Amino acid sequence: MPVQSRTRITRALAALAAGLCLSTGAAADAWPSKTIKIIIPFAAGGVTDVVIRTISPKLSEALGQPVVIENKGGAGGTLGTAMGAASAPDGYTFIAPAASHTTTPSLYSKLSFDPVKDFAAVTQIVTVPYLLVVPASSPMHTLADFIAAAKAKPGTLTFGSAGNGSSNHLAGELLAGSIGAPLVHVPYKGSGPALADVLGGQLSFMFDTINTSTGHVKAGRLRVLGVGTTKRSKIMPDVAPIADTVPGFEAVTWIGLLAPAGTPKEIVARMHREIEKIVQLPEVQERLSASGAEPVASTPEQFGAYLSAEVAKWGRVVKQAKIPPVQ
């Protein structure tokens, strides 16, 4: 039996067990009556961790129950995500994925879950913009310069990433496909070493999150040629979106909230409403901004549609760039 089928059977049995005593409506009315768990499918200390730990105390206050965080990293985030997919859809387990959630179907050949069908979308909490950065010594001062250089000498511009199949690797491949010029990918074991080689001039450019690049930009060590959001970033409003020059281009990382498929819609809607209010609080926005995150708080319907579109988009990029499976 396929792994995804076993996961869905497990979840269906959990849902049945949860519904023996209470109907869906009654369960939603009584919710929450105990501790809520949010699984972060990454190790502690990253942006996802900061964002979820910023909103969770406020969420606990709003819901009147403890909200605990469980970091379950491993296998590119798929380990913790699989745990969430197999959890009972009773409103007491949620998952906080990042942008890699929508790239895993194209990069992992043996996933135990479907990133769309096995979850109920709650909200995209924040977006974390990518910046296209070059060394301060680079002769490329604008995105137009970059595109001209890439087309004049195809295959000479190099970019680093956190590794094969990482989000900033795919961002570079998306740009290559969008401008119709090959760009040479150099994988590293993490974005830090890649950024160090951009700073040192060993690499032509890279896509890096706004929170880690901003300090270098302000210090004059990096130059920004564009931001990966479709609109100007509130954190760096003077930088034009790449999409202004390359129509339709968007490459960001994001952090969202999912529930196991079958979670009552009333519970999903309540979680969205509370998070929407929380990210509008000045003290929360200040901390999110410090970590490079911009509030979104999209509706469950909007987030669900976004997930489906992103899975399709990155699938095309992986296929076009002929990126081999990570696992």
pLDDT tens-digit map of 193-206: 999 999 999 999 99
Tell me, what's the pLDDT at 219? 97
Number of residues assigned to the chain: 327
CA dist 241 and 182 (Å) reads: 21
Q: Please report how many Cα atoms fall inside a 13 Å half-sphere around the Cα of residue 263, on the Cβ side.
A: 32
H or E stretch covering 225: strand 222-227
Strand pairing class (36-40; 93-95): parallel
10-residue stretch averages of pLDDT, the chain, 327 residues long: 55 50 59 98 94 98 98 94 97 97 93 96 97 98 98 97 96 98 97 97 97 95 98 95 97 97 98 98 96 97 98 97 88
Tell me, what's the pLDDT at 105? 93
Q: What is the DSSP letter of 244?
A: G
Q: Is the dihedral of CA 215, 217, 220, 221 positive or negative?
A: positive
Tell me, what's the pLDDT at 110? 87
| Model confidence, pTM | 0.90
Q: What is the DSSP letter of 293?
A: -
Query: CA torsion 152→158→48→45, rounded to 10°?
Result: -150
CA dist 30 and 7 (Å) reads: 27
3-state SS assignment for residue 125: strand
Question: Cβ–Cβ contacts within 10 Å for residue 203, how many?
Answer: 22
Angle at 253 between CA 247 and CA 258, to 5 degrees: 120
Q: Furthest-apart CA pair in the chain: how many Å?
A: 68
Q: In this structure, are residues 63 and 274 in contact, taking their beta carbons and an 8 Å threshold?
A: yes
CA dist 72 and 44 (Å) reads: 9
Taking alpha carbons only, the member of 146, 152, 164, 154 closest to residue 204 is 146
Domains of the chain: 3-127+253-321 (3.40.190.150), 129-244 (3.40.190.10)
Amino acid at 86: A
Token pair of 256, please? 């969202």
Question: Cβ–Cβ contacts within 10 Å for residue 89, how many?
Answer: 24
pLDDT tens-digit map of 106-118: 999 889 999 999 9
Considering just the CA atoms, what is the radius of gyration of the chain in Å? 20
Q: Please report how many Cα atoms fall inside a 13 Å half-sphere around the Cα of residue 87, on the Cβ side.
A: 24
Q: In this structure, are residues 59 and 91 in contact, taking their beta carbons and an 8 Å threshold?
A: no
Tell me, what's the pLDDT at 22? 45
Q: What is the DSSP letter of 1?
A: -
CA-to-CA dists, residue 239 to 104, 171, 174, 204, angstroms: 30, 18, 20, 19
